[in-house]
Amino acid sequence: MLLSRATWRPKEAPNSSAGVFAAVPAASVPTVGSSRTMKIHHIPCLEDNYSYLYSPPVIDDATKEAAVVDPVEPEKVVQAAQEHSASIKLVLTTHHHWDHAGGNEKMKELIPGIKVYGGSVDNVKGCTDKVENGDKIALGKDTSILALHTPCHTKGHISFYVTATEGEDPAVFTGDTLFIAGCGKFFEGTAEQMYQSLCVTLGSLPKPTRVYCGHEYTVKNLQFALTVEPDNAKIQQKLSWAQNQRQKGLPTIPSTIAEELETNPFMRADLPEVQERAGCKSPVEALRLIRERKDKWRG
């Protein structure tokens, strides 16, 4: 089943800050029916995973090239592509865990010759093309996919940053590094690495960038975020919205980088008030302590 996309919009965006990527003006979500619109379809998998079918803007509707992110249930993904008359050309694998990479070999059986991309040091099952930080992948006429090394959850975790036509907000597929209002467990890395991945690499993307993560964890993450910042009105507002979305059977994804900078305690570790709540004066230490608290939290 494909779910429609709905995005929570905060009342105000945070102030701009310099980063690796130049800031771009905020743009409204393009009309889904436009032939030049980046189309991203949610494909719910397993218990709480999402795969994503990404179709870039196309001029010639006869060549609807598409990419799929973390296709853990290949038959479901291929069916979704058929429903949207899309031709899957490549697989983007964020990391090696089975609930993200476990469908790659079957995808190669179902679509002979398909390319499967994965991090060069992550030992991704079925990988045909290894990528390093900064590598670019082409899809269609107008799309550029940039590989961003975002380690910690796994050593070689890759987030895929997608830009398409001028005037349209970019998107980033963050796997299990950045969740909506949360981050992945530090299975193969350190707090320093997660800080670099979240607050430097992903935090420097243009603020309107849409965030597509690997799991539907948003409600629990926001509930925990309130234990860190109980007076944060933006967290309270988004939690109410997210609970309403889930009651309707709708996804809470995508978010945006701007929203995460307002509501995600792990991406707010630079703030003195968050460090104070964590009981330290260092952003890296604050991130580490908040993750330890989250690991023990049973909300």
What is d(CA 233, CA 236) in angstroms, rounded to the nearest whole number? Answer: 5
* Annotation says 97 is catalytic: yes
104-115: b (≥16 Cβ within 10 Å) or e: bebbbeebeebe
Catalytic residue among 42, 95, 96, 157: 95
What is d(CA 170, CA 46) in angstroms, rounded to the nearest whole number? Answer: 27
* Annotation says 100 is catalytic: yes
Catalytic residue among 41, 42, 96, 153: 153
Q: Which amino acid is at 51?
A: S
Phi, psi of 234 (to 5 degrees): -65, -35
β-partners of residue 179 are 182
In the DSSP assignment, the letter for residue 215 is B
Catalytic residue among 96, 149, 157, 215: 215
What is d(CA 197, CA 202) in angstroms, rounded to the nearest whole number? Answer: 6
* Annotation says 84 is catalytic: no
* Annotation says 176 is catalytic: yes
Catalytic residue among 42, 97, 149, 157: 97
Q: Which amino acid is at 234?
A: K
Q: How many CA atoms lie within 13 A of 28 on its CB side?
A: 3
Catalytic residue among 41, 70, 96, 99: 99
* Annotation says 95 is catalytic: yes
Element (H, E) at 136: strand 136-139
Catalytic residue among 96, 100, 149, 157: 100
Active site residues: 95, 97, 99-100, 153, 176, 215
